[in-house]
Chain A
């Protein structure tokens, strides 16, 4: 079972890329890219998980050694916020594309010049 669990992030990643490939609207494609990014967060946290362990915060419990891995949590935490700003940048580009070219359909945006 333990290695089957790692297939969930793979599924999320492939589903996100499938969404980008078959997208007919650039905003939909950007959101699917964000879903594909979230697959990496899930995979990182699954690698750091430890059965019957607690969160790596000792504000109210005695410090023990039985905690999940805090390093991957530190990586994922900043990654989420930075990923949101990059999504914002992509959506800003989409808005400008819509204004310049009049469409957000990737199939109608084939060339660089209108």
Chain B
């Protein structure tokens, strides 16, 4: 891949990682995490690693955000009062 494409993919990955961390509400963070998984998959394709990209796209966009959302729902279900952002029961 041409150098500008690699550099652009790396910068996009760094930007998305910052976005995931700065999203404080866990439910919103799960969606941003899914987008970050997709961006990582694109980076891995640009770095000529199709096996790794396939693994990352399957895991990072589907499995981990699903588990995060189920965990958030389970926590809220038990009427937890926590002082995290946007976590009202």
Classify the secondary structure of B's interface with A.
Answer: helix
Beyond the given A8-B10, A48-B49, could you list 13 further A-B residue pairs with CB under 8 A, ordered by the A residue number? Answer: A18-B21, A25-B26, A28-B26, A31-B30, A35-B21, A38-B36, A38-B60, A41-B56, A49-B6, A88-B64, A98-B80, A105-B84, A107-B83
- Cβ–Cβ contact B82 & A91, under 8 A: no
Q: Mark B53-68, 1 if CB is under 8 A from A, else 0.
A: 0011001100110011
A48–B43 Cα distance when bound, in Å, is 14
Q: Mark A27-53, 1 if CB is under 8 A from B, else 0.
A: 110111011001101100110110101
- A contact residues, total (Cβ < 8 Å): 53
Closest to B24 in A: A28
- Cβ–Cβ contact A104 & B80, under 8 A: yes
Closest to B51 in A: A77
Q: Mark A86-111, 1 if CB is under 8 A from B, else 0.
A: 01100110110011001111011000
| Chain B: minimal CB distance from A25 (Å) | 3
- B contact residues, total (Cβ < 8 Å): 47
In the complex where A12-B14, A28-B29, A31-B26 touch, is A91 in contact with B68 (Cβ < 8 A)? Answer: yes
Chain A residue numbers with a CB within 8 Å of B48 are 49, 53-55, 67-68
